[in-house]
């Protein structure tokens, strides 16, 4: 059954689910607002393309930007950390007006998704400027419903329409400065090919090797079924002759962003000449230099880039390319496990949508995020997609900040505290198992690609302990942290009415609706009705009201304290105990 659109208002549970998967969660006000929207209305809100560009990263030592001019006093190691801390603020939509905030965060989450797909590592790239411009490239192609319009060169000429889609992004990434460093494209020259990027382009970024766990058997030596070693070698020749431009002054005419340079200047002297022929796995296709772009029969920057464009077109002509990319999209936004039945049904439908819409990421995401399958799998299926993904450390930490609507320090006016805050978040994320922009493998973070464990790799004894320590430090124990502690009493007073807050059981159910993915039909009285057992709810109730021990009737005492406004320190301590129990639960680790 193909993807079918879900209609009707989302309601709280689905709204919270959508925001967890797209925006690191939502505040109570945002969840309430989205609960009234249909999936189509909500997704269109998320894809608001009228967004500001990010404010440039500012150097902590000088308060000045260093990206465009390269002028900085700090060592590159410090600049890289500041760049990543800056980006944490972007992922949280820091200082973005409320009407644009969710779409801004969603765009940045797509920047992160593209980073997990076209992986790079900060320690290898070693340049904050290169990573910034790679992110800018991802940002440009994250919302790709509208093509790029280039102004005419003279008043009598027409505007030039340049496609903007995943295929074009693949072409641009191939000559991106950060990627040229990460996968050794800068060392790929005529007569001495370096195959690293060509291999990963085929294996990781585009065609892939088939459905994980069901990869076809090779039919000959060097056969990877959907491409071959011959294709890697021919691809390397196509990609030869580029190097990094550390001045970032070589500008791509279509994106307006810096890219790598061609060795040799106007003559691409390090690019392999002649026709490149691919194997039967890629249809026996050829890449042939465009004579009109050559100079005296010699390759030029224009002809070399055109060859890359031809090569990527060949790759995207393979049906398996759309399937491979859509599997990555599905695992990131829905669930890690894909069997042949799911591939033949949902993934194939996503791939058909992807290809039919000129490989636009937005088209396939709109179809997926508005579908019944995204929320509830298939009708009559006991399983569903709520709480099916273990939160990454990024989702865990930023989701906490989003849930409690924690305000970051003002960026330019309070730069030191801004960097203290966001650097502390990076430290906490690292302690939970994600060294941001430093995945362990060339394929990226194991949770997004490593069959069969995928996102379960986030949970080890140490990492889980650090997750719980983060919750305790932010809510319950008053540990000193740069981000401070959440004022739980003020939070409950601001977000729950007195009728709800004064009743301990009703408050637990209400909190569950916003914070836990399994939160429907909860009841303390009727077993086996809700998504949390009565025993689970009573565990939260016991943690909530167990202090002070002197209460003969803890629930009545809670109601009395709340309504009277007396003993509010006791009230605050009880609320901290409740949130500590609920947010250290297995359920809160899921999204």
CB 257 within 8 Å of CB 162: no
**Rounded CA separation 39/27 (Å):** 18
Neighbour tally for 211: CB within 10 Å = 20
CB 138 within 8 Å of CB 164: no
Answer yes or no: is pLDDT of 380 > 50.
no
Answer yes or no: is pLDDT of 381 > 50.
no
Burial class (CB in 10 A: 0-12, 13-18, 19+), 420: middle
Which pLDDT band, with edges at 50, 70 and 90, does 379 fall under?
very low
pLDDT of residue 518: 86
Alpha-carbon distance values, 33 to 5, 182, 217, 371, 386 (Å): 20, 42, 50, 20, 20
pLDDT of residue 60: 96
- The DSSP result for 373-384, as a single string, is HHHHSSTT-S--
Which pLDDT band, with edges at 50, 70 and 90, does 482 fall under?
low
The pLDDT tens digits of the residues spanning 127-184 come to: 999 999 999 999 999 999 999 998 887 777 888 899 999 999 999 999 999 999 999 9
Q: How do the domains of the chain map onto residue ranges?
A: 1-119+334-392+403-448, 145-317, 393-402+449-589
Spell 460-491 as b/e; 16+ CB within 10 A means b. Answer: eeebbebbebbbbbbbbeeeeeebeebebbeb
**Rounded CA separation 448/564 (Å):** 51
Q: Over the chain, what is the mean pLDDT?
A: 94
Residues with Cβ within 8 Å of 569's Cβ and at least 6 positions away in sequence, in order, are none
pLDDT of residue 386: 83
Answer yes or no: is pLDDT of 273 > 50.
yes
The pLDDT tens digits of the residues spanning 189-218 come to: 999 999 999 999 999 999 999 999 999 999
**pLDDT mean over 476-500:** 79
**pLDDT mean over 318-323:** 98
pTM value?
Answer: 0.96
**Rounded CA separation 308/174 (Å):** 8
CB 85 within 8 Å of CB 423: yes
Answer yes or no: is pLDDT of 378 > 60.
no
Answer yes or no: is pLDDT of 239 > 90.
yes
The pLDDT tens digits of the residues spanning 38-87 come to: 999 999 999 999 999 999 999 999 999 999 999 999 999 999 999 999 99
Tally helices (H) and strands (E) across the chain. 26, 6
pLDDT of residue 85: 98
Reference 574, options 555, 591, 587; nearest CA is: 555
**Rounded CA separation 185/189 (Å):** 9
pLDDT of residue 382: 47
CB 276 within 8 Å of CB 233: no
Task: Tell whether omega for the bond before 137 is within 30 degrees of 0, i.e. cis.
Answer: no
**Rounded CA separation 105/92 (Å):** 6
pLDDT of residue 158: 85
Structure tokens at 497: 């009415």
**pLDDT mean over 225-248:** 98
Burial class (CB in 10 A: 0-12, 13-18, 19+), 443: middle
């Amino acid at each position: 059954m193909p993807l079918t659109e879900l209609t009707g208002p989302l309601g709280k549970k689905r709204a919270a689910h959508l925001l967890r998967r797209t925006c690191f969660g939502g505040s109570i006000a945002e969840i309430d607002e989205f609960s009234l929207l249909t999936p189509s209305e909500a997704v269109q809100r998320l894809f608001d393309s009228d967004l500001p560009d990010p404010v440039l990263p500012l150097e902590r030592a000088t308060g000045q930007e260093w990206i465009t001019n390269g002028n900085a006093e700090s060592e590159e190691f410090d600049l890289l950390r500041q760049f990543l801390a800056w980006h944490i603020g972007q992922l949280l939509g820091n200082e973005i007006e409320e009407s644009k905030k969710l779409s801004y965060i969603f765009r940045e989450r797509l920047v992160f998704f593209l980073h997990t797909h076209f992986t790079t590592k900060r320690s290898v790239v070693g340049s904050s400027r290169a990573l910034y411009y790679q992110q800018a490239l991802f940002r440009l192609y994250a919302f790709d419903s509208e093509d790029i319009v280039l102004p005419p060169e003279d008043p009598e000429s027409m505007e030039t329409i340049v496609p903007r889609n995943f295929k074009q992004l693949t072409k641009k990434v191939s000559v991106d400065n950060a990627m040229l460093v990460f996968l050794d494209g800068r060392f790929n020259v005529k007569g001495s090919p370096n195959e690293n990027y060509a291999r990963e382009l085929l294996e990781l970024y585009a065609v892939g090797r088939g459905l994980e766990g069901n990869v076809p058997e090779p039919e000959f030596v060097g056969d990877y079924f959907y491409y071959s070693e011959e294709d890697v070698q021919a691809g390397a020749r196509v990609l030869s002759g580029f190097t990094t431009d550390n001045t970032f002054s070589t500008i791509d005419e279509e994106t307006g962003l810096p890219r790598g340079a061609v060795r040799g200047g106007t003559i691409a002297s390090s690019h392999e000449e002649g026709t490149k022929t691919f194997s039967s796995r890629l249809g026996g296709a050829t890449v042939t230099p465009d004579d009109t772009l050559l100079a005296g029969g010699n390759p030029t920057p224009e002809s070399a880039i055109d060859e890359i464009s031809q090569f990527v077109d060949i790759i995207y002509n393979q049906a398996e390319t759309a399937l491979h990319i859509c599997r990555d999209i599905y695992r990131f936004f829905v669930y890690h496990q894909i069997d042949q039945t799911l591939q033949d049904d949902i993934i194939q439908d996503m791939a058909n949508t992807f290809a039919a819409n000129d490989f636009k990421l937005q088209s396939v995401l709109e179809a997926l995020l508005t579908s019944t399958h995204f929320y509830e799998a298939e009708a009559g299926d006991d399983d569903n997609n709520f709480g099916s993904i273990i939160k990454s450390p990024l989702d865990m930490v930023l989701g906490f900040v989003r849930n409690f609507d924690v305000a970051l320090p003002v960026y330019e006016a309070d730069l030191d505290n801004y960097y203290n805050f966001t650097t502390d978040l990076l430290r906490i994320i690292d302690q939970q198992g994600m060294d941001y922009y430093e995945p362990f493998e060339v394929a990226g973070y194991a949770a997004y690609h490593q069959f069969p464990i995928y996102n379960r790799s986030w949970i080890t004894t140490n990492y889980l302990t650090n997750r719980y320590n983060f919750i305790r430090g932010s809510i319950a124990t008053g540990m000193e942290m740069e981000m401070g502690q959440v004022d739980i009493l003020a939070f409950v007073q601001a977000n729950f009415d007195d009728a709800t807050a004064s009743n301990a059981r009703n408050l637990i159910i209400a909190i569950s609706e916003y914070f836990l993915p399994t939160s429907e039909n909860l009841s303390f009285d009727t077993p086996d009705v809700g998504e949390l057992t009565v025993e689970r709810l009573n565990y939260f109730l016991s943690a909530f009201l167990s202090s002070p021990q002197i209460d003969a009737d803890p629930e009545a005492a809670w109601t009395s304290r709340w309504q009277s406004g007396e003993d509010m320190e006791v009230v605050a301590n009880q609320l901290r105990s409740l949130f500590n129990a609920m947010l250290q639960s297995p359920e809160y680790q899921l999204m």
